[in-house]
Homo-oligomer: A and B are copies of this chain.
Amino acid sequence: MTESATQGLVDTGRFSHLFPTTSKQYAAGIPNSVVDYVIVFRYAKNPPKNTSREAYASQVSQDFESLGSKLASSGLLYQVKQGAEDNTLLILVHCPWSVLKKHLFRSRIHDFLIGVRVEDVDESGRRDSGHAESKTDENELPRHDLTEAERLRLVYDMITLPVNDGGANVSPDTDKFVDSIFALHNDELNKSWIQSWNKKWLIHETDLQLIRDHLGEKVAMYFAFLQNYTLALAVPAVMGVIAHFTLKNTFNIFYGIAMMIWSVVYLELWQRKERNLAVKWGVRNFSRHDKQHPGFTGDTVVRDAVTGEMVPYCAPWRLFMRRVLTLPGVAIAAAGLSVVVGFVFMVEVFLHEYYTGPFHQFLHYAPTIGYVLLIPTMSGFYTKWVKVLNDWENHKTEAGWEYSYTQKIFVANFLVGYLSLFITAYVYIPFGEHLLPYLDVFNIQHNHQKVGTERLKAQLMYFIITGQTVGFFTEMIVPRIKAFILPKVMTYFNKGKSDKKISDSNSTELDAKTLEAKDVMTEAENKFMQKVYDEVAMEEYNIYTDYVEMVIQFGYVSVFSTIWPLTALCCLINNMIEIRGDAIKVCKYTRRPTPRRAESIGPWLGNMQTLAWLSSITSASFAYLYRSTTDIHSPWTPIFTIMAIMANEHVFIVIQAIVRYAIQLVPTWADIVARQQEFKLKKTWLDRTANEEQFVAKDIGSKEEASNNELDMFWMEHQKPESELEAAKATIRSSFKSD
């Protein structure tokens, strides 16, 4: 995939007379930056029912025409290429600097006014002049480089934003045949990035900065989080190893509370880190201004109170009702998923613990198939279904949509990740022995004596070791195999295609111009188009999957590691590989993500806080239930377990309050920088305007001066401080003299 961009001297001599000065530069291949975005325009091979072939063709044609004119009227350049697949056109879009700079200017002014940009002072001093110094108000832009990510973010806005906001209003939401819009990978950079990571243990701030500059803050924030979280795992890993070798009862409440404290401290510290990164990356406060969600539709159209434009409006109670009504929808889907997870679990328990009949060695591995095939498939259905629900909820803002969607995704992953553990802990172990008689009734062979906590440990170890290994395979090795096989298929496919194309063009007599354009395509361009085809064929990068994996893992460590204290160590090792795997994935196996800004990990933080709270429940209940002195079958046990849980919830809240209080006593780097920035800005403004004070507040001044005259009489003989002083001193003297 990367060859086209980095390899080989191409013979451009044939066309050098056409482009006498610039043709040599493509000797090293065409860089990704010649094209800002690729718009995939895809239509059905066969028209939908009740539509004639011609009508559909002219509809597609018209839609394309409107698309083209929208792009052209925004000043964007585009060229159209046939896609690798049939019925697909690729629109390569480029934004000339003359057009981009207006948008950049608007964006920078906007950022300044809402307080996003503070001076970019990173430790290396790489950028030493902030906009405070550079007198923003005198119409000079803040001195910041335009990074690749920012450029792409702005161009994406220009393509997708409504016309009123300065965009071309082209997006999969508004245009029926627009399948997707994506930017091309910077292969050279990706290569050097991944190579450098393979040579070192830790990812540095500069590496994160590189990601931020090329893939945007949102992706960079994910890697920062993953890195930070992995480092933080060292603490429970060490604690876990100690606990593993010293504590007899692994369900120790003190170990549980220690994990709870770690979770709380870690989450608080991460929030500080987040704020620091937001300042460093110049995205602090940006989320204050909600971006409108493109799918939002209103019942009516009203005049916007702010901009005066006509905007869709939906009554708040309707929005609330929609949110309420999706709850049962999510609940049903979650229940369905729970049934599947529960079924797989039951089969697993049965085959592992009870079944000793024929093929039992072989059937032992059947449940893993459930985890690898059945459950992911069901999760896939769930994900699609909740996306429909989430769109129906009609969110006004991007942030609202994302929050709501994240919650729904989290529910599914929570069930898949934890449900069988909860069933084991709270149903199977306490009540499992009641099952034994029934097994006898059905005359099933078994050699089972007692249901103990080993089952719980085995379950957790399965998720930590087998689960994560399988996850790594499906995420990394399978795509690698795909990546190895696919190009060959592609090449074969393309050969057939290009043959066909020629025959097509022969038979249909495409107009001469097109043919000519094709003819002058240099070899470099061919290679470049191959890169484009390859990337069109890739899946989109899904940051939710990456986050949810880590958040669920955080749950294993914080909620369940009292079961098996080595959990954190295993996760730490897993993540050292994971971070590199994710880097390769985002560079090689998925399309380049559209750069977006992010000043935090958003809703995932809330999910992790929920898990930390949940850890107060599990640690207390495990500690009580699985004590050697607890009679697990006593009717009072459930009540005392609940009491223990609730008491520990209060402990959790107190710990959280103390940790928060203690941590906020230490000022953050971000706060200091922000204050520095504001201080400088203020000084600049005051200095600049100091001479013109007489002009200032003229109206207030004249009023005040008028009223000052009134006071003259009262103050006229008190203008000299010396005389006041003398009088006062005399009085003081006198008061000590008399008596």
8 Å CB interface, A141-157 against B: 141, 143, 145-146
> Which residues of B are found within 8 Å of A693, using beta-carbon distances?
101-102, 105
User: Contact size class for A?
Assistant: 35 or more
The one of B53, B140, B661, B678 in contact with A114, judged by C-beta atoms closer than 8 angstroms, is B678
User: Which residues of chain B are near A30, meaning CB under 8 Å?
Assistant: 714
Give chain B nearest CB distance to A290 CB in angstroms: 9
| Nearest CB in chain B to that of A505: its residue | B734
Q: Please provide the chain A residues from 46 to 74 with a CB less than 8 Å away from any CB of chain B in the complex.
A: 47, 53-54, 56-57, 60-61, 64-65, 68-69, 71-72
Are A713 and B97 in touch, CB under 8 angstroms?
A: no
A665 pairs with B727, CB closer than 8 A? no
A378 on interface, CB distance cutoff 8 Å: no
Which of chain B's residues has its CB closest to A685's CB? B109
Set of chain B residues within 8 Å of A686, measured between Cβ atoms: 106, 109
Given contacts A307-B679, A708-B96, contact A715 B672 (CB under 8 A): no
- A433 located at the interface, meaning its Cβ lies under 8 Å from any Cβ of chain B in the complex: no
A204 within 8 A of B: no
| A360 part of interface (Cβ distance < 8 Å) | no
Given A68-B728, A101-B696: A737 in contact with B78 (beta carbons within 8 A): no
What is the minimal beta-carbon distance from A732 to any residue of chain B, in angstroms? 5
Specify which of B94, B141, B724 is in contact with A715 (CB 8 Å cutoff): B94
Asked if A100 lies at the interface with its beta carbon under 8 angstroms from chain B, I say: yes
CA gap between A730 and B65 in the complex, in Å = 12
**A246 in contact (CB, < 8 A):** no
Query: Quick one: closest B residue to A714, CB to CB?
Result: B34
CB atoms of A143 and B737 under 8 A apart: no
- With A146-B700, A685-B113 known as contacts, the answer to whether A57 contacts B736 (CB < 8 A) is yes
Q: Which of A79-87, A294-302, A329-337, A584-592 faces chain B?
A: A79-87
**A511 close to B86 (CB less than 8 A):** no
**Minimal Cβ-Cβ distance residue in B for A23:** B713
Q: Which 3 A-B pairs have the closest CB atoms?
A: A646-B646, A79-B718, A72-B721
- Cβ contacts A to B, 27 pairs, < 8 Å: A19-B712, A34-B711, A35-B714, A54-B736, A56-B736, A60-B732, A61-B732, A68-B724, A69-B721, A72-B721, A77-B715, A77-B719, A79-B715, A87-B735, A94-B711, A97-B701, A102-B693, A110-B682, A145-B700, A146-B703, A305-B672, A507-B738, A508-B734, A510-B734, A511-B727, A517-B727, A642-B646
4 further interface pairs, Cβ-Cβ under 8 Å (given A61-B732, A89-B728): A69-B721, A82-B731, A140-B695, A513-B727
